[in-house]
Every structure is written in structure tokens, then in C-alpha cells.
Structure 1
Amino acid sequence: MAENPTRRSDARQTRRRGAALEDAILAAAADQLTESGYAGLTMDNVATRAGTNKNTIYRRWPNRLALGIAAYRQLATTAPLPDTGSLRGDVLEFLRQANRHWSSPLGAILRELFAAAGGTAELVGQLRDQSGDAEAAPWLTILGRAVARSEAAPEALHPRVATVAIVLLRNEFVVRGSPTAPDDVLVEIVDEVYLPLVRQRGATSR
């Protein structure tokens, strides 16, 4: 009697282990996020798509939010750092990149995840690329270029200073619930907060 092809497929699925199985689960969760957003993400649907069972998923991700965050990280891409030749130009363009992302369908998923995470610092940290250092790195690069051009003093190279602009932009989405930030808000963040702060760090060191 000929072997049922469905059974062969099921056997291959049950033999998956380790990274291959995790990749299949994350791919299924990412597809579900793209189609239905975080609200439509369920362990049942992901298990069915991945050809596994819920217990297998729960052994790797303790809840739906943790799985959603891991799946979002599969979808997110890193934009190239702007290099306009000036600190103001770099910061403003990087904010505009972030604003476009947060205003996009993928950004809508990110906002859903932030809302679901609430005050859970560990999960919010995962959304921010797992560490404050990782989030600060591109901003410190931009600020480091400004220091090399003598636009800023070395004392300005501090992670909290470097990331002030992106934190203020994030607040527009997470705290205020804005679907997008007008460009004049980005300009205000740069001209009224970021540049004065960077310049003051240099002034106080003298």
C-alpha cells in the first residue's frame, strides 16, 4: 500500500528540533502578525501554521506577548544611519526614519506590543532590541561624528543624552497615542531639546 503523503509531511514536522522548529514557529507567528496584528495572534493559530502543538511553543515562549515580540523582531529591519554632514541633519533624518516606521503597518504592530507590554520592563526591553546599549549605539555613532566635527563636546557622548530625541518621539506614539508625528514636532524635538542639551553638556564641562 502506498504511503500517505500527508503522513510523510507530518512525520517530517514531528522530527524537527531546535533551531529549525523555532524558525518555523517564528515564521508562522510573523505571518499571523502581518495578517491580523497582535490582536489576531493566538497560540492555536501559530501552532497550526507551524505544524506543531501549543505545548512546544509554550516551552520556548511563556506567553503570547513574548512570542509576539520575538516574531516582530523577525520582521523588523535596521535602517542605514543618515550621514548628512551635520548633527542637526543626522538627528532630524534619523527621527524621520523612525517616524515613518512607527506610522507604518509594521509600526502599528509595534505600538500594539508596547501597549500589551504595559509597565513590564523586561518585555519593553526586548522590544527595544533587548538592551539600552543596543538602542543607544546608533545615536552614539551620530553624536560621535558630531564630536569629530567639533559640533559637540566629548562630554555629550552619554547614552541618556544621545537617545533623548528618540525617547521623546516614542512618547508621541506610546503616551499620546498619535498615529504619526507631524514634521514640526520632530523639528521642535531637535531644535528646542536635543541640540540645546548637547551644547549645554559641552558648556558645563568648561
Structure 2
Amino acid sequence: MEMSRRRGVRLEHAILDAAWDLLGEVGYAKLTMEAVAARAGTSRPVIHRRWATRAQLAFAAVEHRAPVETDTPDTGSLRTDLLTLMERLVRRVNAVHGEVLAGIAAETARDPEAMHALRGRLAATTQGRHVTAIVQRAAERGEIPAVQLPARVARLPTDLVRNEVTLYGQPPDRKAIAEIVDRIILPAIREAPTPSR
């Protein structure tokens, strides 16, 4: 089938695959809609109808191709579960390249419409369900009291990894992960309110 005749999901995947490949080859700073269109065998207006900005396209490509582990860590220890989860987040970031995420963040900061769209996508994909499940299991084991985990605390691992990439251009190493878990995430969990009766 000719490239120009593709529609729907097939065309979208071709565009996202092309964007991902180009991000790896030239980096975010040199990514252009024209290059993605040429690689995907489509046109720039077709891409713009789906993703209004380069940042939105790059973020969609990251979501499409970066590895995502869907199972919740269950090592039998709250701390080890959190460390495992953080290490998985860092592996995903490393698969993407910190420069790409930093570039997306910098560009969307200058574009309120792109920032709004990006925040919507991040809110949809970072609900903290893994942290919530980890904390519930720890409470069921009697490791900690039952708590009502605030959404902001549940999002801490993802938010803190993203913050490290944005500020420093790379994700935290193992030593920094342990420090984040021990000094920020665990204390925040232990300070969470108990469920109301």
C-alpha cells in the first residue's frame, strides 16, 4: 500500500516511529516537522492536524516508543519497592535521552498552549497508581499504618525524576535515588493522613 494512502492508526504510528528515530539521530534541538513528514512519507499539514507543536509530537513519540513496565514492584519491602520503581523510571528516561525531555520542557515553557496540552498528557499518565499500590501492600503487611495517600505524594517518584532531568539534563543515579526515597518519599508517606472512619 502506498504511504499516502495510510490512514488512522497506521499513519499515526508511522509518524511517531519517524519522530522517535529522528530524535535518536539528530536530537530534539534539530528535530523538524518537515524531516518527520519526509521520513514518514506524509506531509507537514497532516502532522500538524494531530500535533500542533514539535514538543507535542516529540512527547507523543516518547510515549509511543519508550519502554513502559506496567506491573507494580512487589519485593516484600516498602523501601525496596520504591527503589525498584524509581530505577524503572530512570531506565525509561535513559531510553529516551535526557536532552529530549529537557528540550520538550524548555519549549513548552515558552508556549502556554503547548504547556497546557503537555500537562494534560502528563496528568493522564502519571496518576501514581504504582506508589498507591506499593503503600497499600506495605500497610497490609503491617510494615506501616494504613494511610490516605495524597495524589501529590503518589506522583513524587515521577515528578522528582522529571525534575532532575529538566534541571540537570540527566536522571538521578542510584545514590541519588536512594537519597530521594529515604529523605523525601518515605517521610512523605509516613506523614500522610490516616483514613477517616
Q: C-alpha offsets along residues 148-177 of structure 1, whole Å, 9 cap, x if unaligned?
A: 1122333243322222244233322223x1
Q: C-alpha offsets along residues 30-81 of structure 1, whole Å, 9 cap, x if unaligned?
A: 2111212212211111111111111111112112111111111111121243
- The alignment yields a C-alpha RMSD, in angstroms, of 2.6
The one-letter code of the counterpart of 1:59 is: R
Q: C-alpha offsets along residues 115-150 of structure 1, whole Å, 9 cap, x if unaligned?
A: 322272431442x3x526x43111111112112112
- 8 Å CA contact 1:140–1:158 kept in 2: the answer is no
- 8 Å CA contact 2:101–2:166 kept in 1: the answer is no
Which consecutive aligned stretches of 4+ in structure 1 deviate over 4 angstroms post-superposition? Answer: 202-206
C-alpha separation between the residues in 2 aligned to 1:58 and 1:16?
Answer: 16
Residue 122 of structure 1: aligned partner: 117
C-alpha separation between the residues in 1 aligned to 2:162 and 2:4?
Answer: 42
Alpha-carbon distance change, 69 to 201 in structure 1, aligned in 2, over 3 angstroms: closer
C-alpha separation between the residues in 2 aligned to 1:140 and 1:72?
Answer: 25
SS at match of 1:40: coil
Name which structure has the greater RCO, CA cutoff 8 Å, separation 6+: 2
Matched, 1:140 2:132: yes
C-alpha separation between the residues in 2 aligned to 1:171 and 1:146?
Answer: 27
Gaps of 5+ in 1: 1-8
- 8 Å CA contact 1:152–1:198 kept in 2: the answer is no
C-alpha separation between the residues in 1 aligned to 2:158 and 2:42?
Answer: 39
Match of 2:181 among 190, 194, 206: 190
Larger radius of gyration: 1
TM-score (norm 1): 0.79
Residue identity over aligned pairs, in percent, reads 37
Alpha-carbon distance change, 68 to 20 in structure 1, aligned in 2, over 3 angstroms: same
TM-score (norm 2): 0.82
